[in-house]
Structure 1
Amino acid sequence: MTDDGSRVQPWAAGSWTTPPVAATDDGTDLLVTAAEGSDAWRHTSYGFVHDDAHALLGRLDGAVEVAFDVDFDQQFDQAGLMLRAGAETWLKAGVEFSDGAPQVGAVVTLGRSDWSVAPVPDWAGRRVTVRASRAGDAVTVRARADDEPFRLVRVAWFPPDAEVQAGPYCCAPTRAGLVVRFRRWATGPADTALH
């Protein structure tokens, strides 16, 4: 238990939605190798459904926080956290490499996916922490690089009665060989304020 009431989760506390090519403990870190073509998306604009991202999930009651290194630079390489209630109800948030730069963003899927991103080129090569807090009918997503202040990424509607699991995720839609170093996975009470 940390000072803010959060609890660091052991990697063994979660179950994979789709097992990665490899997942190896490296000290307190977890190195995850994503399968080529893995992704999470439903319908919108692209017309396809992918539900084979590598998400390591456990029960969520309030907030989840995942830290990882942004050490990837191929189109659509991505890592962060996922909240999942089912195949058609989920949220992923983190950093995705797109159009030549890291982008912080989120995909909310309620039958169909949407996508919002903002470029963060200065986050390349740094440790990023993504936090999602669920309260009532909303999930509030924040992110930061290293020890900078958290910035608001998204406030999204999410079904208030849904049973949700959450934890780290990654995928590699366009290539083989993506390895993500996850530094930390923690859960705790929901945030008390939006700002």
Structure 2
Amino acid sequence: MTKASQWFNPPGRYSDGPPLRFTTAAHTDFWQHTHYHFYRDNGHFYYWQSTADQLSLVVEVQVNANSKFDQAGIMLRKDAHNWLKISAEWLSKDQAALGSVNTQNSKSDWASQTIQPATSWTLKVEISQQDAVVFALLGAAWQQLRVLDISHIRENDRICIGIYGCSPDGPGCEVIFHRLDYAESA
């Protein structure tokens, strides 16, 4: 990746590869209030900043899970109260989930679907000005997971976009990003 990157809550151990890999810390998450009634903003986020109108990020992520809810994927972020995460999440040896959490003004919503566990998952977000379209590669076809307004995440036309990982309930896990394809245009 040629674009300058930085960490928000850097993990204790990481390698920017390729592939980029890191180990999540115990009890880390990005979540704000809704349903679970807790606030966490201590997950690991590796990101780039952009003012481009059109952006896309495709990642292939492997989550070597240890505990329920170990997760990793794509994140768009303004601050602790306004962000979007798109994830592959481990639930059990028999179940995983593809999901997205949109947090606006300190309220998180969660849209998810249960899938079979896999060695890795490929996720994509396409951004056009104030809108985002979220996809997952299922088999040989992209499946649209969500379309949403992200005006609450852009600040003065700037957006932070990158990858994240966290372990809400467990001791931490290894996360490996085998693919990071980032593109932008005016």
Contact 1:66-1:80 at 8 Å conserved across structures: yes
TM-score by length of 2: 0.86
Contact 1:66-1:167 at 8 Å conserved across structures: no
Supply the distance in 2 between the matched residues of 1:137 and 1:182 (Cα, whole angstroms). 26
Alignment match, 2:64: 71
Return the letter of the residue paired with 1:17: F
Q: CA deviation at 1:46?
A: 1.3
Once the two structures are superposed, what CA deviation does each residue of 1:35-81 show, in whole Å capped at 9, x if it has no partner? 00000001101111100110101024311222212432520100101
Contact 2:99-2:112 at 8 Å conserved across structures: yes
Which residue, 149, 154, 167 being the options, matches 2:162? 167
Verify: 1:151 aligned to 2:146, yes or no. no
Question: Identity percentage over the alignment?
Answer: 29
* Residue ranges of structure 1 left out of the alignment (5+ in a row): 1-8, 191-195
> What is the RMSD computed on CA atoms of the aligned residues?
2.0
Supply the distance in 2 between the matched residues of 1:73 and 1:118 (Cα, whole angstroms). 20
Once the two structures are superposed, what CA deviation does each residue of 1:127-161 show, in whole Å capped at 9, x if it has no partner? 3221111113311101115x722110111111175
Secondary structure, in 3 states, of the residue corresponding to 1:150?
strand
TM-score by length of 1: 0.82
Structure 1 residues 1-195: aligned runs within 5 Å = 9=1, 13-26=4-17, 28-60=18-50, 61=52, 62-72=55-65, 74-98=67-91, 101-111=95-105, 112-121=107-116, 123-125=117-119, 127-145=120-138, 148-159=140-151, 161-162=154-155, 163-189=158-184
Runs of 4+ in 1 over 6 A off after TM superposition: none
Supply the distance in 2 between the matched residues of 1:71 and 1:118 (Cα, whole angstroms). 20
Q: CA deviation at 1:102?
A: 0.9
* Residue ranges of structure 2 left out of the alignment (5+ in a row): none
Return the letter of the residue paired with 2:14: A
Alignment match, 1:5: none
Choose between structure 1 and 2: higher strand proportion.
2
